[in-house]
Amino acid sequence: MTTDLPELPPEDADLLELLRAEWERRDPPAQDLADRVILALALTDLDAELARLEAEVDLPVGARAAEPTRSLTFTSEHASVMVTLTPRTAGRFRLDGWVAPAFAGQVELRRAGDGDDRAAVDDDGRFVLDDVAAGLVQLVYVPAPGGDLVRPVAAPPVQL
């Protein structure tokens, strides 16, 4: 396959530019498309079991709370992960999570280009990330070596 394309006549190049601009105006790419692609490509380096989002619930909280607490449940063939997102300050969250069945290990909260947060998963399957920034994230549970669960479990990217 060659990438050398012939030089276009100016009128053809102008026409293609008009078409491109019209498509961008009528059907622009998703705003977070680049971040989603980066997170998806990062999984190619990881032999992970993919989980799916089973439930997303906004839980009512006290009358003074500006934002509700969100609960997300991800499931895969061998594990389920439930997380509760509690608003902290503007654009920041506390993330409490549970892995079932309980396996010790580590949770990675991945971001496109902004660095990852990590938390230990205890023997009961519980983990906490106390200060998480809003944005597009992906949760990956990495089991401890030598346990029954041998492959990481990766959730789809979600917007916090």
Residue 37 domain flag: yes
Residue 9 domain flag: no
Higher pLDDT, 81 or 54: 81
Higher pLDDT, 33 or 89: 89
Give dist(CA 160, CA 158) in Å, integer: 6
Residue 128 domain flag: yes
Residue tagged 């990590």 (tokens): 118
Residue 17 domain flag: no
Q: What pLDDT shows up at residue 109?
A: 92
- Domain that includes residue 52, residue range: 33-159
Is 121 within 8 Å of 139 (Cβ atoms)?
no
> How far is residue 90 from each of residues 63, 66, 86, 94, 160, measured CA to CA in Å?
17, 10, 11, 12, 12
Residue 1 domain flag: no
Q: What pLDDT shows up at residue 17?
A: 87
Q: Name the DSSP class of 60.
A: P
Is 141 within 8 Å of 105 (Cβ atoms)?
yes
Q: What pLDDT shows up at residue 115?
A: 75
Q: What pLDDT shows up at residue 129?
A: 96
Residue 39 domain flag: yes
Residue 110 domain flag: yes
pLDDT bin (cut points 50, 70, 90) of residue 56 is confident
Query: Is the pLDDT confidence value at 62 over 90?
Result: no
Residue 7 domain flag: no
Q: pTM of the prediction?
A: 0.68
Strand partners, 136: 159
Q: Which tokens belong to 153? A: 């479990």
Domain count along the chain: 1
- Which of 5-9, 34-38, 43-47, 132-136 has the least mean pLDDT? 43-47
